[in-house]
Structure 1
Amino acid sequence: MLSISILSKINILVLDWRQKARAPVNKPKTNTDQRRQKILVHAINFAPELIGCAKYTTELCQFLAAQGHNVEVVTAPPHYPGWVVRSPYRSWVYKREAFGPIQITRCPMVMKAGAHGFWRLLAPLSFAVAAAPIVTWRVFRFRPDVILCVEPTLFSVPIALIAAKLVRARSVLHVQDLEVDAAFEVGHLSGAGIRKIANHLERRLLDSFDQIVTISEKMREALLIKGLRSANVIVIRNWVNLDMICPLPRDLNAFRRFFGFSDQDFIVLYAGHVGVKQGLDVVLKAARRLAVRQAIHFIIVGDGPMLGELKQEFADIENVAYLPLQPNDQLSELLAMADLHVLPQLPGAADLVLPSKLGGMLASARLIAATAAPGTEIFNILQGVAILSAPGDDEGLAQSILSAHSRDFSANIARGLAVAETLSSARLLPNFERLLVGQTNASQNKGERFAKLANP
């Protein structure tokens, strides 16, 4: 258990971080000297989905609209996580709605809860087919200057490219997930021949965009290995809103009170998607190992296709409790419940995605225990910040949790807050805006300039 002196150290560094976070930031100028533009966004995920790609696509669109741009979105019914459409939405209908100043058209999608196997292909493919006529209609009525397509899903890419050609719009792809590689690594797809064909088609499609943005250096390297032009692929990391998620005191936390935890209880928290790539079973195996430690409690907050299976497999563990996803306005309070955040990941998917939950963990001023292999992006970012153990090693993760319970890691937390500042939405969203609407056609020097802007 953390001592009073350690807690005092953490409070001091949090106060110092708050002062820095609230200090004036030399924000890059937005587009005040540029023409307001029409931007059409084609993405399978959008609000009211709370996590994953939807969070970042929604926040980007809100920011662009706040800068005076005219933004429209073509998307699916909200279904993530779990691949289940919840009331009042329906999966089989087209729907037009407003999200503040943003106009949204939702398109049908065929899906089955969990979307395992064949359904994992059919669901996004059906959305892409249903959305294609809407994208075509909107480009002729809306006449966008920019078309932004978000991967996943790759199935949306062809119509986005065609639409951009039809109206001579700038085409930008936001790669949140190396979808093809991940599908083979986690077992959704298999076969060397199929993979070769998929990789060839992927490269041809991606190379047709004017600009590609991805979220990690390792993902950029993977895209370049596929044969894409270096100047066309830049990194803008997923951001965190430091006004929304900030360090909050451990005592009097509403979630700790809800569970009846005392000051002596040590809370290990996982909050996010519960799918194959997350490899959450290693956390529950570690919880089983630590079941005799009565002061250590595990809280799993989230949803996803693996949740039911994991609950059933680990039903015997009494030191684990579950909560559904919480609203965004409760996220900072939720993260403050933790004494330790856990960040597991399936070994084969380590550099094919970058967990979107990372920024919130860092900004909450709590320690992180992550499973990451040396040389991976997560390892490089969190070295000296988190307690690291090998992917899939539940014994190693259990030892990390015991270390966090007994030792002073306030210096690691301070370094984590410094990393969170580099991921601030106040820094990164203006860079994304300039990339979308600025004169950034691919050339080596321009690509390098935006790479520097994207990673302050």
Structure 2
Amino acid sequence: MASSKTSVLYLSPYFWPEEIGSAPYSRELAQHLSNKGYVVSTLAFRPHYPSVEPFADWMHGARDRETLDAIAIERVPVGPRGSGGFKERIYNDLRYLGRAISHAVRGTYRDAEIIITYVPSVLTLFGAAALKLRNGAPIVAVVHDIESGLAGSLGITSNPMLLKLMRLVERFGLNFANQIIVLTEGMKHELEDIGCKQPIEVLPIWSQVAADIPIDPASPVRVMYSGNFGKKQNLDQLLPLLAFLSNKTPDVKIVMRGAGSERARIEEEVVKRKIGNVRFLDLAPADEFMTSLQSANIHLVPQAQNVANCALPSKLISIMSAGRPYVCIAEPGSPLETLTQESEAGICVQPGDEARLCREVLDLLSNPVQQQQMGQAGRTFVQQNMDRETILDSYISILHRLSGNEPLTSAVTEG
């Protein structure tokens, strides 16, 4: 097994046991590499996203060193998300960078043959560059968010000098990498505009389709939002729709699942607007996630304006895998609209078009046949274009090319 002991250092601030955002995809890739015979070491934050409450066991450091499926995990202390806004997040990222540089100085990971970094945060790339100085390992950057684009579009900062500085930091950081992987063509173009000169490959989010369970016409009709309650989603866009459904179809159950910095405010808005048929729940546990998604007739996928090329809502792929239709809010020409058109798994409405949003959701609720057809179209699209094993093996091909090691033909196979 010539390649089965290739050592990978995994710089992934967001990791298991977090269940939304980039964490589950980071964890699945790490497990895939481990199962294929790679020796994987991970540097991650203590789990805290979207809130610290579910992760009490990790909060005070008792699990700062642990293993998951032979993956050695080291945790970095972190402040809760939302506790200090943008400044707190930068402080956390700098703390993570400091730990990575400390390891570079001490030579902790001098045997690493490949360094994989996840963005956010772009500062992981500076930590990777410091470690590369020690061992010469190639760097693979997996970009899930373009932070300068999100900061400007979401109003996290309006300071033009700060945004310019963020783009400069991103340009330097990304050009440390030997290979960059993004989720969409739009993200690739954004990085090229920033000034990234390194090779960029587009590999979509992956998934495995759930068991094919048709929508039960005898079950209560549900409309669901499931995911993070944050600025990227701009959940205010849903409030007119929720009020409309509450008045027009009071028997329809509206379920809002998840956590995040905006949840309390959105709950207050629902009460203020006297929207009566909305229930707020925590995000379903991982082993119940697909069942939760399949309990709904229609899913809602809002996206804030001007962030289309900076992030892709991964919840959309899970919804398609569950065989359920969706109505999304996204700009014309955005990756979200393109995916909707190509998959025929949902309906895309432009931001601000409240009348059409209400009309499309109401029409889809009244058409069970269309719900089923769109759900099946989503499952088929995922099977054909986002197959988990195919995409994860594409990552392995990239690592093989960069490391020069032999293919893992005789490595451990996944069970």
TM-score using structure 2 length: 0.89
Following superposition of structure 1 onto structure 2, how do residues 27-106 of structure 1 map, counting pairs within 5 Å? 34=3, 36-82=5-51, 86-90=55-59, 95-106=64-75
- The 1-side partners of 2:193 and 2:82 are apart by 35
- The 2-side partners of 1:136 and 1:358 are apart by 41
**The one of 110, 113, 123 aligned to 1:155:** 123
Cα offset for 1:356? Answer: 1.0
Contact 2:109 2:131 in 1 (8 A): no
Structure 1 equivalent of residue 254 of structure 2: 298
- The 2-side partners of 1:91 and 1:355 are apart by 31
Structure 1 position 118 matched with structure 2 position 87: yes
Structure 2 equivalent of residue 239 of structure 1: 206
**The one of 377, 398, 401 aligned to 1:438:** 401
Structure 1 position 396 matched with structure 2 position 356: yes
Q: Secondary structure at the match of 2:139?
A: strand
**The one of 423, 427, 435 aligned to 2:390:** 427
- The 1-side partners of 2:362 and 2:286 are apart by 30
Contact 1:92 1:109 in 2 (8 A): no
- The 2-side partners of 1:120 and 1:184 are apart by 15
Contact 2:51 2:80 in 1 (8 A): no
Structure 1 equivalent of residue 408 of structure 2: none
* 406-415 or 304-313: bigger deviation: 406-415
Structure 1 equivalent of residue 163 of structure 2: 195
Q: Secondary structure at the match of 2:255?
A: strand
- The 2-side partners of 1:271 and 1:85 are apart by 17
Structure 1 equivalent of residue 231 of structure 2: 276
Letter in 2 for 1:376: S
- The 1-side partners of 2:150 and 2:52 are apart by 18
Distance 1:87 1:164, change over 3 A: same
- The 1-side partners of 2:97 and 2:62 are apart by 14
Cα offset for 1:133? Answer: 1.6
Contact 1:282 1:393 in 2 (8 A): no
Structure 1 equivalent of residue 413 of structure 2: none
Structure 2 equivalent of residue 169 of structure 1: 137
Structure 1 position 412 matched with structure 2 position 374: yes
- The 2-side partners of 1:397 and 1:321 are apart by 20
Contact 1:240 1:359 in 2 (8 A): yes
Contact 1:172 1:213 in 2 (8 A): yes
Structure 1 position 339 matched with structure 2 position 297: yes
Structure 1 position 220 matched with structure 2 position 188: yes
* 1:130-152, Cα deviation, whole Å (9 max, x unpaired): 44324554x54551100011110
Cα offset for 1:93? Answer: 7.7
Q: Secondary structure at the match of 1:86?
A: helix
Cα offset for 1:94? Answer: 8.1
Q: Secondary structure at the match of 1:71?
A: strand
Contact 1:72 1:102 in 2 (8 A): yes
* 1:301-325, Cα deviation, whole Å (9 max, x unpaired): 1111111111111122111111111
- The 2-side partners of 1:320 and 1:197 are apart by 42
Output the aligned Cα RMSD: 2.2
After TM superposition, the runs of 4+ consecutive aligned structure 1 residues lying more than 4 A away are: 32-35, 91-94, 112-115
Contact 1:370 1:389 in 2 (8 A): yes
Cα offset for 1:181? Answer: 1.4
Q: Number of matched residues?
A: 396
* 1:63-93, Cα deviation, whole Å (9 max, x unpaired): 0000010000001100001366731112568
Structure 1 equivalent of residue 319 of structure 2: 361
Structure 2 equivalent of residue 349 of structure 1: 307
Cα offset for 1:61? Answer: 0.3
Distance 1:430 1:399, change over 3 A: same
Contact 2:227 2:258 in 1 (8 A): yes
- The 2-side partners of 1:429 and 1:235 are apart by 13
Letter in 2 for 1:75: A
State the identity as a percent. 25
- The 2-side partners of 1:357 and 1:351 are apart by 16
Contact 2:117 2:125 in 1 (8 A): yes
Unaligned runs of 5+ in 2: 405-415
Distance 1:85 1:267, change over 3 A: closer
Contact 1:299 1:323 in 2 (8 A): yes
Q: Secondary structure at the match of 1:68?
A: coil
**The one of 122, 136, 149 aligned to 1:181:** 149
Contact 1:84 1:113 in 2 (8 A): no
**The one of 231, 252, 270 aligned to 1:314:** 270
Contact 1:185 1:349 in 2 (8 A): yes
Contact 2:45 2:77 in 1 (8 A): yes
Cα offset for 1:283? Answer: 2.0
- The 2-side partners of 1:274 and 1:112 are apart by 12
Structure 2 equivalent of residue 374 of structure 1: 332
- The 2-side partners of 1:222 and 1:370 are apart by 22
Structure 1 equivalent of residue 407 of structure 2: none
- The 2-side partners of 1:112 and 1:273 are apart by 12
* 185-194 or 71-80: bigger deviation: 185-194
